[in-house]
Amino acid sequence: MANELKPCPCDIGDRFDYGGRGQEVQVEHIQAYICKPSVSTDKAVIVIHDIFGWQLPNTRYITDMLATNGYIAVCPDFFVGQEAWKLSNDWASFDDWLKTRNASKIDKEVDVILKYLKEQCGAKKIGAIGFCWGGAAVQHLMLKNPHLKTGVSLYGVIKFFEDRFSLLHPTFFIFAEKDEVIPLDQVTLLEQKLKQNCKVDYEVKIYPGQTHGFVHRKREDINPQDKPYIEEGRKDMINWLNKYL
């Protein structure tokens, strides 16, 4: 079970030594990292970062991976200039830190990014993926935003989820079997409520032996035993986007 002293026991995992292939841009009041594919496309993905923020190299690696797979990929700073969580922070202050960073209060920023993607990048079909905090944000957007086509929530913290389950768009939920912050009974309950309330396609998948953050915060070369699941999670994410965008 979750350690109460660490309400979101997200260690950084393996911090990638990765510079990025994209560029930083200013979109109205938001800074963002964007990477575009080598050929033009009208498909885009908004990448919603975890508590470590939009500049985490791991998240930029996934953003670039989406571009390699043919998507305009953009990772905005959804903390809008507020500091990302740092491992040196006192976990006792996490709840206070979180109060000004609510995963369900990103609609204004998403609207700005959607406008940018449509008007500046030529995007017509847009989805969203998110990790941890960002995974909860994806659940919020799939419940509310009519302009997105699909979403992938990667180990979205269920206790941050809204207590609604009538998703508007096809949504894929990725969870880890040994996630300290998301007990499997919460995942089971989520599945039950989706089955009762959801009218669109969805999938909930649990990856054996994995821990929180495995898709973007574990390196295959450091964790060879986890490599098949890291690769499977990334492939599943891309396949879901390919299916619905």
Reply yes or no on whether 212 is catalytic. Answer: yes
Q: Check pLDDT > 80 for residue 8.
A: no
User: Residue 53 region, left (φ>0) first, then alpha (ψ -120 to 50), else beta?
Assistant: left
Give pTM, 2 decimals: 0.94
Q: Check pLDDT > 50 for residue 60.
A: yes
Give me the count of residues in the chain. Answer: 245
The proportion of the chain whose per-residue pLDDT surpasses 90, expressed as a percent, equals: 86
Q: Where exactly are the structural domains of the chain?
A: 23-244
What is the pLDDT at residue 217? 86
Q: What is the mean pLDDT of the chain?
A: 93
pLDDT tens digits along 209-237:
999 999 998 877 778 899 999 999 999 99
Contact (CB, 8 A) for 197 and 165: yes
Q: Please tell me the distance from the alpha carbon of residue 128 to that of residue 152, in angstroms, as a whole number.
A: 6
Q: Please tell me the distance from the alpha carbon of residue 137 to that of residue 141, in angstroms, as a whole number.
A: 6
Which of 27, 164, 192, 194 lies closest to 104 in space, CA to CA? 164
Q: Which of 8, 49, 132, 140 is catalytic?
A: 132
Angle at 112 between CA 66 and CA 110, to 5 degrees: 60
Q: Which of 64, 77, 179, 226 is catalytic?
A: 179
Reply yes or no on whether 75 is catalytic. Answer: no
What is the pLDDT at residue 11? 66
What is the pLDDT at residue 219? 79
What is the pLDDT at residue 13? 66
Reply yes or no on whether 179 is catalytic. Answer: yes
Q: Which of 212, 216, 226, 236 is catalytic?
A: 212
Q: 23-244: what CATH class?
A: alpha beta
